[in-house]
């Protein structure tokens, strides 16, 4: 039993004493090396950097297999040697052998889990269906971001499925990252932003010189740009993903910034990621319907402290019943931040195989696979620097007739504002100090009963999404029909998640 925990110790008192001493010495050296790394270096950064190289992972996989086999073998050798030394016979001999078998299993199981945890990511880093692009543009030296002061990544959430008549990005965000500090401005673009413009010189700008106008009144939304491009692939010769390209153009022109990379997740993938992490803790601010819109409400996410699994976390983010688009955007940003808070190194390490499976099946990006280590370092900086939400609400500009010039000024001001902030406080929600009662909860946004026209075509309708909903989300805030007059300095909302935190009045 002792040799199961201290390899070689069971051999020291037998004829194989030298083998036992060597194994104990190797164990001592390994423990001392690990202790030195923990004291001198940053173990998380070292593990993250080494763990993003496929060659390193394969090498570690071989080492784990060899060490595991040797560890199990020396248990068997110690059993045989001690049995001979003690001259065990009959039932005692079989009992000792059975005990050795139990010890071998006890050692083999964690080593098998280690092999699984190394095999999964090495396969992921060899995947061409998840990663893409090339590794150009990174600085030489210890800091790959030395020549890139700011990085903009477009984040898309798709709700694709067999029951959908077309693919539309259900969530559109852009993370603008200061690569030195990790401080990040997270912009949320409402999916009902109308008549978006495109960069000059693009085929989309030539088709719509006065803004996107293809599907008819109240249907020319930014999340419909993808569908238009996919329906007109002849305008994008040689482009395998015209929907992504056109959406990227629209996002860049809307915010007035270029995007360096994109990451796109199927919303089913978000559910799988949350499940892989074991769920997310959240104080739900009010009763959130599951279903609604084009289908029946099947249940509710109850208010108060909850451990949301993937299914309920996804519905918390996507529920439209009793909400306007801006409240929904708030919940999306809150759940994304809550998941990032939940994803500590320990939970990530224990969830690697399931995380890899969820990633391979549901995530696509043009981040170069050869430079994943640089992005892991950047992710660690973001975790330290924090990110601040900047939603494009009706208070910023009216979604039905946006003021594009003012919007670009607001984006610049928001980026500057994000550089001045300390890391944001937790958004998981709190109860009263010393109390076990749920936090005070709020009320849903007021629903608008205005009637609207029917959709112009079935292809422009998505699950739980109707024209009535699109107009009502715009009508929830009284807004002028003409472009707003820009102020001297854009106003930046200081608490953009307040409306979906516990205690909000809606």
Residue 160 has pLDDT above 70, yes or no: no
Question: Which carries the bigger pLDDT value, residue 65 or residue 494?
Answer: 65
- Average pLDDT rounded to a whole number, residues 71-86: 88
If one compares 461 and 243, the residue with the highest pLDDT of the two is: 243
- The tally of CA atoms less than 13 A away on the side-chain side of residue 185 is 26
Q: What is the pLDDT of residue 473?
A: 39
pLDDT of residue 197: 94
Mean pLDDT over 353-358 rounds to 67
Provide the residue count of the chain: 506
Residue with tokens 């965000």: 173
Three-class secondary structure of residue 182 per DSSP: coil
Q: Which of 30-39, 45-54, 433-442 has the lowest mean pLDDT?
A: 433-442
**Helix %, strand %, coil % of the chain (to 5):** 45, 10, 40
Q: Which residue has the higher pLDDT, 33 or 258?
A: 258
DSSP state of 489: S
Report the distance separating Cα 89 and Cα 86, nearest Å: 9
Write out the two tokens for 397: 């500009």
Alpha helix stretches (DSSP H) within 283-371? 310-318, 325-342, 345-350, 352-362
pLDDT value of residue 483: 44
What's the average model confidence in pLDDT over 102-110?
Answer: 90
Instruction: Kindly report which listed range (120-134, 255-269, 420-434) carries the lowest average pLDDT score.
Output: 420-434
198 band by pLDDT with thresholds 50, 70 and 90: very high
- Judge whether residue 230 has pLDDT over 70: yes
Tell me the two tokens of residue 372.
């994943």
Confidence of residue 133 (pLDDT cuts 50, 70, 90): low
Structure tokens at 142: 């210890």
Structure tokens at 442: 């709020």
Question: Is the pLDDT confidence value at 463 over 70?
Answer: no
* pLDDT of 150 above 70: yes
* Mean pLDDT score of the chain: 77
Alpha-helical regions (H) of 216-302: 225-231, 242-255, 267-276
Q: How confident is the model at residue 496 (pLDDT cuts 50, 70, 90)?
A: low
Buried b (16+ CB within 10 A) or exposed e, 75-89: bebbbebbbeeeebe
Whether 437 shows a pLDDT value over 60: the answer reads no
pLDDT of residue 232: 94
Tokens of 93: 């001999």
- Directed axis angle between helix 54-86 and helix 17-40, to 10°? 140
Nearest to 283, CA basis, from 425, 423, 493, 437? 437
Per-residue pLDDT, averaged over 4-12, amounts to 86
CA distance 144 to 259: 18
Is the per-residue pLDDT at 432 higher than 90?
no
Q: What span, in angstroms and rounded, lies between the C-alpha atoms of 415 and 501?
A: 23
- The label of the residue with tokens 């077309």 reads 166
More confident residue, 505 or 364: 364
Return the higher-pLDDT residue of 445 and 189: 189
* pLDDT at residue 266, as a whole number: 80
Q: What is the model's pLDDT at position 494? A: 63
Mapped onto helix, strand or coil, the DSSP state of residue 171 is strand
DSSP three-state, residue 260 = coil
Q: What is the pLDDT of residue 250?
A: 95
> Helix, strand or coil for residue 401?
coil
With 70 as the cut, is the pLDDT of residue 166 above it? no
pLDDT band of residue 147 (cuts 50, 70, 90) is confident
Task: Check pLDDT > 50 for residue 469.
Answer: no
Which residues does 178 contact at the CB level (< 8 Å), separation at least 6? 149, 150, 184, 385, 418, 419
Ranking 36-50, 241-255, 379-393 by mean pLDDT, the lowest is 36-50
């Amino acid at each position: 039993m002792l040799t199961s925990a201290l390899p070689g110790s069971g051999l020291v008192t037998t004829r194989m004493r030298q083998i036992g001493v060597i194994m104990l010495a190797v164990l001592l050296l390994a423990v001392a090396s690990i202790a030195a790394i923990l004291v001198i270096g940053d173990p998380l950064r070292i593990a993250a950097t080494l763990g993003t190289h496929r060659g390193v992972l394969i090498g570690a996989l071989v080492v784990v297999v060899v060490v595991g086999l040797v560890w199990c073998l020396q248990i068997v050798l110690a059993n045989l040697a001690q049995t001979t030394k003690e001259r065990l016979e009959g039932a005692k001999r079989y009992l000792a052998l059975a005990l050795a078998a139990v010890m071998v299993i006890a050692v083999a199981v964690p080593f098998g889990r280690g092999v699984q945890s190394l095999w999964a990511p090495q396969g992921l880093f060899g995947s061409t269906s998840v990663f893409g692009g090339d590794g150009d543009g990174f600085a030489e030296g210890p800091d790959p971001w030395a020549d890139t002061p700011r990085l903009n990544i477009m984040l898309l959430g798709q709700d694709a499925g067999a029951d959908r008549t077309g693919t539309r990005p259900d969530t559109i965000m852009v993370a603008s990252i200061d690569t030195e500090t990790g401080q990040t401005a997270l912009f949320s673009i409402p999916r009902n932003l109308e008549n978006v413009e495109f960069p000059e010189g693009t085929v989309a700008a030539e088709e719509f010189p006065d803004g996107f106008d293809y599907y008819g009144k109240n249907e020319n939304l930014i999340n419909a740009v993808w569908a238009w491009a996919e329906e007109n692939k002849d305008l994008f010769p040689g482009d395998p993903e015209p929907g992504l390209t056109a959406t990227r153009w629209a996002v860049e022109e809307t915010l007035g910034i270029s995007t360096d990379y994109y990451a796109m997740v199927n919303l089913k993938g978000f559910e799988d990621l949350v499940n892989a992490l074991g769920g997310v803790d959240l104080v739900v601010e009010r009763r959130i319907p599951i279903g609604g819109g084009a289908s029946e409400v099947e249940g509710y996410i109850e208010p108060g402290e909850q451990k949301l699994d993937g299914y309920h976390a996804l519905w918390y983010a996507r529920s439209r019943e009793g909400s306007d688009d801006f409240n929904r955007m708030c919940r999306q940003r809150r759940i994304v931040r809550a998941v990032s808070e939940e994803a500590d190194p320990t939970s990530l390490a224990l969830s690697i195989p399931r995380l890899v499976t969820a990633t391979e099946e549901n995530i696509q990006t043009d981040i170069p696979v050869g430079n994943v280590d640089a992005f892991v370092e950047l992710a660690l900086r973001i975790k330290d620097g924090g990110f601040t939400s900047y939603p494009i609400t009706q208070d910023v500009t009216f979604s039905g007739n946006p003021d594009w010039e003012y919007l670009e000024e607001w984006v610049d001001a928001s980026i500057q504002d994000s550089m001045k902030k300390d890391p944001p406080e937790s958004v998981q929600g709190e109860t009263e100090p010393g109390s076990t009662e749920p936090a005070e909860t709020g009320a849903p946004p007021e629903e608008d009963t205005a009637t609207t026209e029917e959709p112009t075509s079935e292809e422009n309708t998505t699950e739980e999404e109707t024209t009535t909903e699109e107009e009502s989300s715009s009508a929830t805030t009284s807004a002028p029909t003409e472009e707003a007059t820009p102020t001297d300095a854009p106003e930046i909302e200081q608490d953009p998640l307040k409306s979906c935190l516990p205690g909000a009045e809606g």
